[in-house]
Chain A
Amino acid sequence: MKLLEIKGLTASYGAGPVLKGLDISVDEGEIVTLLGSNGAGKSTTLRSLSGLVPNVSGEILYRGQSIKGLKPEAIVRLGISHVPEGRRIFPGLTVRENIILGASNRKGVARRVLEGEVDEMLAFFADLKRLEHALGWTLSGGQLQMVAVARGLMAQPKLLLLDEPSLGLAPLIVQQVFRIVESIRSRGTTVLLVEQNAHMALSVADRGYVLETGTLLVSGKPEALWNNPQVRAAYLGGGGAHR
């Protein structure tokens, strides 16, 4: 079943359009990845989905209903949670406070219940337990990413938008992040993943889209993208295999 369907999406921030008629669809339970170079429009796609881009045209259907033009607060209430580029952890709040605020889209849930869920999150992301009361600005990159994902999951999303989760992380942590992405899917959450690390992204994704300057270059299964010479040359470093 189609969870998300984007047809002819065009978006602009005032200057020129960043997206020019993009078509993307995501089925329930999938991990779909968006690849492409800087400025290709990957992050803008996610920002358009979560209501952060004011000028969008085309169709954005979520469970068959249009969410175009809704405010970010309304979209997250429908079950689309966005973990943005740069993690955006509130620097002056503690890890625990950051995580519990992830549930701000859920109305009428008792504080006690939410605190219990935070405890589960802290147990799931084992490294965070000891940092529970640390302020956001004191965390390292890997810790920030874990808090950002935990906070995103507190919204109990149907669809999680993950923007560059591996950016600036050590190889070991990158592996951990992608294991978490897989476990998120196994919890029943669909993931739309934007990544520069194509190796890792394609290793967990069911399908991928490659964007170039706001349009779709090619899409398909990971193996098909790996073997596409055009994609290899432009985004996968060309040449032979890497480790």
Chain B
Amino acid sequence: MSDFLQLVFQGLGIGAIYALVSLGFVLLIRAASVVNFGQGEFSMLGAYLLVVFFNILGINYFFGIGLSVIIMAGFGLIFAYATYWPLRFRGGLPVIISTIGASIFLQNMVLWIYGPSTVPIDGLFDSDGFQIGEVFISSQYLAIIVIAAALVLLQYVIFEKTLLGKKLQATSQDKEMASLLGIPVVIMIMITFAYSAALGGLAGILVAPILFVSVGMAGIITLKAFAANIIGGYGSIPGAILGGLALGIAETLGANYISVPYKDAFAFLMLLAFLMVRPQGLFGEKISEKA
């Protein structure tokens, strides 16, 4: 039983990572109708920035995190300008392909600069964790769960309770009409990308002590975050969270009780099952096209 609880906690921690990355996805989908395949590279870049500030330059860890997140926000603007802005009137697919191009570009630039080796980095706390009964609570995982929960709440409040959130949604649904109402469309899109990149960077920084920093660190996480997003319900914030957590727990248990090599397959099998049986996901709504 204690083994099981331990696995569930670990699964929750991993799930929280998926949820965190997934949040950035959802934001771009809801506020800019963009499916961003470069989301994982935001995480990778964020982690490398912290490596530069903390490991190399020796800046204070938490100050380094702050700097990295701010730089990532700025980077989000550049990303938007290069991959999204020129293609904004051309529908979903060209933007998807261009974010894929950006992802290839960023991975290989970092590879060129840092090489293929993985870099270890310190966690948020000096202590590794503590024991509750027979379950060991890792402090980094706990922090991820708490921060993910806080960010979810923040994002939910912004989208559902504030005028800013409504303006972001309006921009996503009809840019021209939004501009006719006086909504500064460019600023809305900039906010979206900056926040999404900052969020991605923070996710990367939080998982870096667990996975170590490498060029490929975020590739599979991004795909799974995407899967979490579908399982939870495409574009739904609570869905992204539950989908992420469910995925994390399922694959941790699956790896332990069924097969380690196929650990990564559980996420995608779950996704296949959902797409076949309940394609709208846990929280998605079936929207039928008005004829």
**Interface-forming stretch among A55-63, A72-80, A235-243?**
A72-80
- Contact A88-B174, Cβ < 8 Å, known A50-B180, A97-B166, A100-B166: yes
Is the Cβ of B177 less than 8 Å from the Cβ of A84?
Answer: yes
Whether B183 and A101, one on each chain, are in contact in the complex, defined by CB atoms closer than 8 angstroms, is: yes
Residue ID in chain A nearest B166 by CB atoms? A97
Which positions 172-198 of chain B face chain A at CB distance < 8 Å?
173-174, 176-185
Does B167 interact with chain A (Cβ within 8 Å)? yes
If A73-B182, A73-B184, A104-B182 touch, whether A90 touches B290 (CB-CB below 8 Å) is no
Indicate the member of A92, A93, A102, A111 with the most B CB atoms within 10 Å.
Answer: A92
Q: Of B166, B176, B185, B290, which is within 8 A of A101 by CB?
A: B166
Contact across chains for B169 and A92 when beta carbons are under 8 A apart: yes
Which residues in window 70-120 of A have CB below 8 A to B? 71-73, 76-77, 81-82, 84, 88, 90-93, 97, 100-102, 104-106, 111
Q: Is A42 an interface residue (CB 8 A)?
A: no
Determine the chain B residues whose CB is within 8 A of the CB of A73 once the complex forms.
179, 182-185
In B234-264, the 8 Å CB interface with A consists of none
Chain A residues with CB under 8 A of B184: 73
A71 CA to B166 CA, complexed, in Å: 21
Interface residues on B, range: 10 to 19
Of B174, B179, B180, the most chain A CB neighbours within 10 A belong to: B180
Q: How distant is A140 from chain B, measured CB to nearest CB, in Å?
A: 11
Contact, CB under 8 Å: B290 / A137? yes
Question: Which residues does chain A contribute within 8 Å of B102, judged by CB atoms?
Answer: none
Min CB distance, A93 to chain B, in Å? 6
Chain B residues in 8 Å Cβ range of A173: none
Instruction: Indicate if the CB atoms of A93 and B183 lie closer than 8 Å.
Output: no
> Do the beta carbons of B181 and A102 come within 8 Å of each other?
yes
How near does chain B come to A160, taking the closest CB pair, in angstroms? 12
Q: Are A76 and B173 also in contact (CB < 8 A) when A100-B166, A104-B167, A137-B290 are?
A: no
B276-291 interface mask toward A, CB cutoff 8 Å, 1 = contact, 0 = none? 0000000000010010
Verify B179–A71 contact, CB threshold 8 A: yes
**B219 → A minimal CB distance (Å):** 32
On chain B, the residues within 8 Å of A97 by CB distance are 166
Cross-chain contact A93 with B170 (CB below 8 angstroms)? yes
Contact B179 A72 (CB under 8 A): yes
Decide if B1 is an interface residue (CB 8 Å cutoff): no
| Docked pose: A137 CA to B285 CA in angstroms | 13
B56 at interface (Cβ–Cβ under 8 A)?
A: no
Interfacial chain B residues near A198, Cβ < 8 Å: none
Check if B163 is an interface residue, CB within 8 A of chain A.
Answer: yes
Chain A interface extent, by class: 20 to 34
Q: Within 8 Å of chain B (Cβ to Cβ): is A211? A: no
Assess whether A52 is in contact with B180, with CB atoms less than 8 Å apart: yes
Set of chain A residues within 8 Å of B166, measured between Cβ atoms = 93, 97, 100-101
B182 neighbours in A (Cβ, 8 Å): 72-73, 76-77, 104-106, 155
Q: Could you say which residues of chain B place their CB within 8 Å of the CB of A92? A: 169, 173
Chain A residues within an 8 Å CB radius of B183: 73, 101, 104
Which residues on B sit within 8 Å (CB–CB) of A101? 163, 166-167, 170, 178, 181, 183
Please give the distance in Å from B91's CB to the nearest CB on chain A: 17
A68 at the B interface (CB under 8 A): no
Question: Shortest distance in angstroms between A238's beta carbon and chain B's nearest beta carbon?
Answer: 35
List of A residues within 8 angstroms of B290 by Cβ: 137
In the assembled complex, the Cα of A151 lies from the Cα of B178 at a distance in Å of: 11
Contact B181 A76 (CB under 8 A): yes
**Whole-angstrom distance from the CB of A203 to the nearest CB of chain B?**
28
Closest A residue, CB atoms, query B185: A73
Q: How far is the CB of B157 from chain A (nearest CB, A)?
A: 14
Q: Which listed residue (B169, B176, B179, B287) contacts A93, Cβ 8 A?
A: B169
CA gap between A88 and B287 in the complex, in Å: 18
The closest CB in chain A to the CB of B170 belongs to: A90
Closest chain-B Cβ to A73's Cβ sits at a distance in Å of 5
Complex: how many Å from CA A62 to CA B184? 22
Minimum CB–CB distance from B189 to chain A (whole Å) comes to: 13
Q: Tell whether A90 pairs with B163 under 8 Å between CB atoms, given A73-B182, A101-B183, A151-B181.
A: no
